[in-house]
């Protein structure tokens, strides 16, 4: 009879780490490039600029220590960029996984310049990539947002990203503050979003309840989901 050896680790060797989805937005230092091939007349679209920063407290009150960012960036470059797998989506997804049907661009380069992570990306000929191109042609501006998984530690007046941080993707986002503005609006009063009865008060109250009861780790994802529901309701009216 075949025997299976079971190894039971002592409790002191087992650590439970609560990792959360962490997104950071960069807007001011991003440049969208549109060039045209003289022979074919085909337009090529790209992005370049600062995609992330280390050792600096960002707008979300978080700090990425240089050694941790270097480790995460090194792994992302080795596993994704160097193998042509580094792609991102248009707008924030609801989790860490890249959805291939929503991919809009490919990251071609990520490197450090001082404390800044400078990147270059090309817009792809995918459905979401074509949306980005059309919006850029119309004068719409975007920013980029890193998306990763990790745990946080409170230090002084900032949340510091821990050594378990993993960089999953860099996405293109148009208005990352919109979900927060939406949440603030429904928390402060129904009138901000009700707008002469376009959406019934009980619908807004339900959205508010969903946000209030969301676990802390899922709060941002819940805000984004309810904001999308709100936009869908607005379009249907």
Phi and psi torsions of 110, nearest 5°: -140, 125
Q: Judge contact between 88 and 103, C-beta under 8 A.
A: yes
Is 92 catalytic? The answer is: yes
Catalytic residue among 92, 104, 105, 177: 92
Helix (H, G, I), strand (E, B) or coil at 224: helix
Beta bridge partners of 143: 173
Residues 6 or more apart in contact with residue 167 via CB below 8 angstroms: 72, 73, 75, 76, 146, 147, 148
Any idea how long the chain is?
A: 237
Is 105 catalytic? The answer is: no
- Secondary structure E strands in the chain: 20-26, 30-36, 43-53, 62-63, 87-89, 103-113, 116-123, 143-150, 152-155, 158-161, 166-173
Catalytic residue among 145, 151, 177, 232: 145
Residues tagged active-site: 92, 145
């Amino acid at each position: 009879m075949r025997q299976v050896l079971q190894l039971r680790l002592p409790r002191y060797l087992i650590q439970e780490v609560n990792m959360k989805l962490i997104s950071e937005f960069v807007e001011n230092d991003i440049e969208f490039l549109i060039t045209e091939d003289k022979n074919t007349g085909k337009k090529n679209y790209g992005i370049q600029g600062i995609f992330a920063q280390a050792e600096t407290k960002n707008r979300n009150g978080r700090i990425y220590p240089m050694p941790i960012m270097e480790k995460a960036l090194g792994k992302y470059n080795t596993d994704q960029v160097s193998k042509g797998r580094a792609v991102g989506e248009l707008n924030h997804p609801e989790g860490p996984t890249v959805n291939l049907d929503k991919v809009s661009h490919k990251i071609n380069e990520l490197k450090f310049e001082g404390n800044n992570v400078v990147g270059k990306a090309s817009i792809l000929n995918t459905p979401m990539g074509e949306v980005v191109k059309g919006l850029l042609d119309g004068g719409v501006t975007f920013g980029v947002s890193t998306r990763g998984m990790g745990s946080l530690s409170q230090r002084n007046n900032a949340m510091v990203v821990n050594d378990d941080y993993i960089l999953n993707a860099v996405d293109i986002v148009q208005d990352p503050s919109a979900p927060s503005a939406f949440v603030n609006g429904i928390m402060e009063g129904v009138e901000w979003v009700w707008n002469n009865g376009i959406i019934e008060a009980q619908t807004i109250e339900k959205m508010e309840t969903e946000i209030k009861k969301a676990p802390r780790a899922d709060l941002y994802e819940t805000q984004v989901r309810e904001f999308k529901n709100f936009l869908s309701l607005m379009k249907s009216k």
